[in-house]
Homo-oligomer: A and B are copies of this chain.
Amino acid sequence: MTIPSDLDISRATELRPMDDIAGQLGIGEHLLEPYGRNVAKISLDAIDELSDRPRSRYVVVSAITPTPLGEGKTTTTVGLGQALNHIGKRSTVAVRQPSMGPTFGIKGGAAGGGYSQVVPMEALNLHLTGDMHAVTAAHNLLSAMVDNHLHKGNALGIDPHRITWRRVLDVNDRDLRNIVSGLGGKVDGGPRQTGFDITAASEVMAVLALSTSLADLRRRLGRIVVGYTPDGEPITAEQLKAAGAMAVIMRDALKPNLMQTTENTPVLVHAGPFGNIAHGNSSIVADLVGSRCTDYLITEAGFGADMGAERFFNIKCRTSGLQPDAAVLVATVRALKAHSGRYKVVAGKPLPPEMLEENPEDVFAGADNLRKQIDNIRLHGVSPVVAINAFPSDFTSEHEAIRQIAEAEGAHVAVSNHFTEGGKGGTELAEAVVAACEEPAGFQVLYPDEADLRTKIETIATKVYGAEAVSYAPAAAKSIDSYEANGYGDLPVCIAKTHLSLSSDPSLLGAPTGWTLPVREVRASVGAGFVYPICGDMRTMPGLGSHPQAESIDLDAEGNITGLM
């Protein structure tokens, strides 16, 4: 079976007017701000205006530990939303906004796929309503004000060697990772080692995702720490008098963006924080709006359940106060086979052909990872649903193997064909999710705010990752002590580690035990509201490949976009 390309399916969609889509949410035109014909922003007044309505069922879509190819989490999120509508349950989908850098890099865009896409994909993957650009502008205004403060006499006494605030751009540009700025003459600032991250990695992006209101956004921006004095006193954006202007730049960006799926299910697209050094979830305000609109709100959490879902529970839900009813774990035959340790899957390359042969034994051999991720959902008192994201190359025996593993753990389970069939193909999954949501809810965060930072890290490491212990490099231990002295000890933690293993070593598949989580360094996003221990090398500015996707993207003679993936 061949299905058309994502771009062709996207183009063939009959888009409904945004008024109709908003109508499905019960959101009136007075709350809608159109951006072009197929995207609209929703006024934040909606949060108050809808507050009398009953809450939607709140479902997060996560995954088992993925292969480098990804297991179709966005596609499943979109497909599940469509499938719920298909079985007569009104639903809304909430996803992150893709970053433009990777769209022109190797990865291509991120809009779901097949018959489960957010459309129009060109709008989603390019500027959308400019929120990413607003993050870039707000972030870099603060950067300029930091250096300007030094240039104009440094009244706050910032130590130039302890400035942590870098600059950002939404482009894959390895040459900007490490730069020396301020060269030239006396009027051109002062030389200083610094660099650029990709916009998604900006703390301003994490602030956008975690703010609960415009006033809250303003406060969080003010709390951003840009560096320290020689005595270790933090210097904030508020002290630099930059936070007001940053909030003004971000004012419209805080309004969630409304789009639709290939089957006209409403989709809220909002914020795209990096999954490595930030929590990687879509915005709280989108969920505050979306959770009052339809029977179900389906949202996505980046990476595997040990990362995205853990942070969804312990950072996002802790901040928003919203309580999830069920969590979907996307599992694929290929990922379970990969966890058997018998194959090597490499990003950007085809699967080894022997991996495509019928082999349920390999699936059983990779079961530990699925079991552990089911357990990670249960740890938070949430009902797990295993979604088998079906590929044309799968065999029924292999799907049955996943079903057996999941059922033995007491999880709901369903095969889903949303990629090839749209919502209709996800009927079984939708019904499993409905059943899971009917179970008594007992959501709980994993640790209290007042636990100290080491306890928080060790709780996640041992309970969620399956580590035996945590080790701290001297610099990491020092940072933790100073953060607690500075009053940041009450913040939740967002552990930056590889997403390709439950452990911090990407080569350890399945569910490794007996290992130690090495905390190399600890940083704080005080404005966004989390501390992030770094375990491994975290790249915050991607590069381009030998043949970046950009080389294939162009306009045709009619001005249509070609080559966007």
Query: Which residues of A are at the interface with B, using a C-beta cutoff of 8 A?
Result: 33-37, 41, 100, 104, 126-127, 129-130, 133-134, 136-137, 140-141, 143-145, 147-148, 151-152, 167, 169-184, 187-190, 192-193, 214-215, 218, 241-245, 247-249, 251-252, 543-544, 546, 548, 550-555, 557, 559, 561, 563-564
Contacts and interface: CB of A to CB of B under 8 A. Distances in A.
A339 to B, nearest CB: 28
A214 B561 CA distance: 12
Contacts of A145: 544, 548, 550
A141 B544 CA distance: 10
A546 B154 CA distance: 11
A137 B170 contact: yes
Contact of A148 (B134, B180, B548): B548
B555 A248 contact: yes
A23 to B, nearest CB: 18
B248 A126 contact: yes
Contacts of A151: 174-175, 543
B177 A180 contact: no
Contacts of A100: 137, 249
Nearest to A563: B244
B169 A140 contact: yes
A430 to B, nearest CB: 35
Contacts of A175: 144, 147, 151, 181-182, 188-190, 192
Contact of A173 (B133, B140, B243, B557): B140
A192 B152 CA distance: 28
A27 to B, nearest CB: 15
Most interface-central of A184, A243, A244, A247 (chain B CB within 10 A) = A244
A178 B554 CA distance: 32
A172 B140 CA distance: 9
29 contacts: A33-B37, A34-B34, A34-B35, A35-B36, A104-B141, A127-B134, A129-B130, A130-B133, A133-B133, A133-B137, A144-B175, A147-B175, A148-B548, A167-B169, A174-B187, A175-B182, A175-B189, A176-B181, A177-B183, A177-B189, A179-B181, A189-B543, A244-B552, A244-B555, A245-B554, A248-B555, A248-B564, A251-B555, A251-B559
Contacts of A552: 244
A273 to B, nearest CB: 19
A398 to B, nearest CB: 38
A440 B394 CA distance: 79
Given A182-B175, A214-B559, A242 B34 contact: no
Contacts of A126: 248-249, 252
Contacts of A245: 104, 550-551, 553-554
A127 B416 CA distance: 42
A554 B247 contact: yes
A41 B561 CA distance: 19
A173 B563 CA distance: 35
A426 B137 CA distance: 38
Contacts of A33: 36-37
A148 B543 contact: yes
Given A174-B188, A245-B553, A248-B564, 18 more contacts: A34-B34, A34-B35, A36-B252, A100-B249, A130-B133, A133-B136, A140-B173, A144-B175, A147-B174, A175-B181, A177-B183, A178-B183, A180-B183, A215-B559, A218-B554, A242-B551, A244-B551, A248-B553
A184 to B, nearest CB: 4
A485 B289 CA distance: 62
A224 to B, nearest CB: 15
A217 to B, nearest CB: 9
Nearest to A41: B36
Nearest to A173: B144
Contacts of A171: 137, 140-141, 143-144
Contacts of A218: 554-555
Nearest to A244: B554
Please give me the 9 A-B residue pairs with the lowest Cβ-Cβ distance, nearest first. Answer: A244-B554, A175-B189, A133-B133, A178-B184, A144-B173, A178-B183, A245-B550, A241-B551, A130-B130
A47 to B, nearest CB: 13
A546 to B, nearest CB: 5
Nearest to A183: B178
